[in-house]
Amino acid sequence: NAGVTQTPKFRVLKTGQSMTLLCAQDMNHEYMYWYRQDPGMGLRLIHYSVGEGTTAKGEVPDGYNVSRLKKQNFLLGLESAAPSQTSVYFCASRASGRIGLFFGEGSRLTVL
């Protein structure tokens, strides 16, 4: 059982480039989340989804877009990457009616 899988795990971008991070979960969870974690800090919620076809903004949504076309996938897009978006990105999912979130292993993004 893979759980929550994030791809890619590492990526280096130049300022202004675009990219998409993919999160896939095989647990049939309704809810999915994207967080970022900067050095020495806790996680901050970027966007989340409460079901297929729905998304909502979190604490730090600016500069990011998301889509949830399929229940098992949650995509995080950067249209024009900036150095301030250098971070480790974590995806998480949660089953309806349950409390705990399941996290992926993270995607380290560097924007030069």
Which residues of the shown chain bind another protein in the complex (CB under 8 A)? 4, 31, 33, 35, 37, 40-45, 48, 50, 56, 58-59, 90, 92, 94, 99-106
Shortest reach from residue 73's CB to another protein, in Å: 17
The radius of gyration of the chain from alpha carbons, rounded to an integer in Å, stands at 13
Shortest reach from residue 43's CB to another protein, in Å: 4
Identify which of residues 10 and 14 has a Cβ nearer to another protein in the complex. 10
Identify which of residues 19 and 88 has a Cβ nearer to another protein in the complex. 88
* Strand partners for 45: 35
Hey, CA dihedral for 21, 53, 31, 64, is it positive or negative?
positive
CB 49, CB 32: distance < 8 Å: yes
Shortest reach from residue 103's CB to another protein, in Å: 3
Shortest reach from residue 15's CB to another protein, in Å: 26
> What is the C-alpha to C-alpha distance for residues 95 and 98, in angstroms, rounded to an integer?
5
Three-state DSSP at 81 gives coil
